[in-house]
Chains A and B, each alone.
Chain A
Amino acid sequence: MIEIKGLSFAYSGYKVLDNITTSFGPGRIYGLLGANGVGKSTMFKLLCGLLTTKQGTIEIDGSSPIGRKPGFLSKIFYVPEDFEGPDMSIGHYASGVAQFYPNYDAELFARLLSEFEIDAERKFTTLSLGQRKRAILALALALRTEYLFLDEPTNGLDIPSKAEFRKMVAAAMDEKRTIIISTHQVRDVENLLDHIMILDKRAVLLDKSVSDIQSEYLFDISANVPEDALYVEPGLGGCCFISNNTSGEESRVNIELLFNYINSKKK
């Protein structure tokens, strides 16, 4: 369980996170959304202990990330947005790193690499961004850490890889794991997420499970927009809109529309 209380953070006086309080429970895939610069990557770095909290507290299973203790680090893995990789082969890097993670599954890693069509003998420095991303995602999933933080995981992935990624994340999920995905490519992860959190500098704008969102709002597309629509966006096949779900009907959450609606409410 990740618990964040009153978290604030600033880079050289420029406030990025301000008094954020939230929690992330096990067995869920969280979508961390927000405009550029609201502090999504900063939040990940704070969770990993790569940045030091100035105000507020973070606890992951009762441990603070500050000090980067080995017991804490062996439970988490973070895939940054712009992973560059060391100057060594994927296999060598993976076998070196994996020995520090007790739940590492070498067979799973080999399988994921083959599904992603990546050769373990190749050096990271000879791979494209997308290939590097696929390699580190394969390792991240095979390490089987309790907490997995993925920053823009689908950036640089081609269309088949995005589908593979969704399949792999869904397969890797169990009731003990917590996966947090930060992304702007919401369509890539739309069907994966159990919980959506929309972050803003000043507050958490939305922190709800997908099922709660579905029971609260109705997402639809139609040429005739109902009068009670909360938010409308013109689209190709008509207008996409959000309305209050008064009928109890379940609709597929359009995360992009939801994000824009929540942000428009803020304005």
Chain B
Amino acid sequence: MNEIFDFNRFGKLVAYECGSYVPRFTKVLVTMACIVFALWITTVVFNNTIGFLGRKSLLGFLFGISCFIGPFVAYKYMNDRKKGYAYAMLPASTLEKFTSMLLICMFVLPMISYITLVASDALLYLVSMCGVGGFIDIGVYNPLVIYFDGYSFSISIAVSFMASISMSMMFNSIFRKSKIIKTILVYMAVSFVSVILVSIIAINLSHDILYRISDFISDFGVEKLMNICYLLCIAVSLYVTYRRIERVNY
């Protein structure tokens, strides 16, 4: 028996997890569709129109939220002291479990969210033809779609979404209870500490050095620097997630 990776076993695992864990995401999808529907209701009730930007911002926001909470919902019990033992004891290797989780959180759940959001929006447009000017999409996971307003597919956006998902996977594997709240608190704490640190550094550094740093960032490219940070986040998050799947105690 291949103890590290077996394609047959991996296929069974993905099928099992798609059939068992992905349905937990249904409530999130229904909620998102309801929010899109509520937006349409407001346009009818208040006789408003809502342009591309408004709709796209809402869909983009909902898509971001669904990507963020996806791992927490689908793999809610993976490290639960009572319910998590079944996940740990499923006869598949850590690499198979990790790869399956990655596939589901990084591709399956976002794809389902994407389809739900775009389909809800398109359906309302078809039904109502009210207050909207055409089909839109969110544009993160489908670079092949022709965009109505020139919103182009950006690697940065995709990498930032992947970083968000991988960090959700990591925090989901670290925290056992109140996972989403604790993760938001961690993000807030990290942001707060970062602002304080940057402020302290900025106050204590001479203008000359600050200009040099600014020039360096400009020369290097802000987007490139951001992408490197995101890639580092992804690498660290995925490594921690793998180790947690391998070692978590129940």
Contacts and interface: CB of A to CB of B under 8 A. Distances in A.
A233 interface: no
Contacts, number: 73
Contact of B9 (A68, A93, A100): A100
A81 to B, nearest CB: 10
B250 A51 contact: yes
A70 B9 contact: yes
The range of chain B's interface size is 20 to 34
Contacts of A76: 89
B219 interface: no
Interface string A87-105: 1100011001101110000
B18 to A, nearest CB: 10
B160 interface: no
Given A50-B85, A80-B82, A86-B86, A99 B16 contact: yes
Given A45-B250, A100-B12, A50 B89 contact: yes
Interface in A87-129: 87-88, 92-93, 96-97, 99-101
Contacts of A87: 24
A70 B92 contact: yes
Nearest to B92: A70
Contact of A69 (B24, B93, B250): B93
A86 B89 contact: no
B3 A70 contact: yes
B91 A74 contact: yes
Nearest to A100: B91
A96 B3 contact: no
B45 interface: no
Contacts of A241: none
Nearest to B19: A96
A71 B250 contact: no
Nearest to B5: A70
Nearest to B13: A100
A129 to B, nearest CB: 13
Contacts of A67: 94, 246
Contacts of A185: none
16 contacts: A50-B89, A51-B249, A52-B249, A68-B89, A68-B94, A68-B246, A70-B1, A70-B6, A74-B1, A78-B85, A80-B85, A86-B20, A88-B20, A99-B16, A100-B9, A101-B91
What 10 pairs between A and B have smallest CB-CB spacing? A73-B91, A74-B91, A100-B91, A50-B250, A71-B1, A96-B16, A70-B91, A69-B3, A51-B249, A99-B12
Interface of B: 1, 3, 6, 9, 12-13, 16, 19-20, 23-24, 77, 82-83, 85-86, 88-94, 96, 246-247, 249-250
Given A70-B9, A73-B89, A96-B16, 11 more contacts: A49-B88, A52-B249, A68-B88, A68-B94, A70-B3, A84-B82, A86-B83, A86-B86, A97-B86, A100-B12, A100-B90
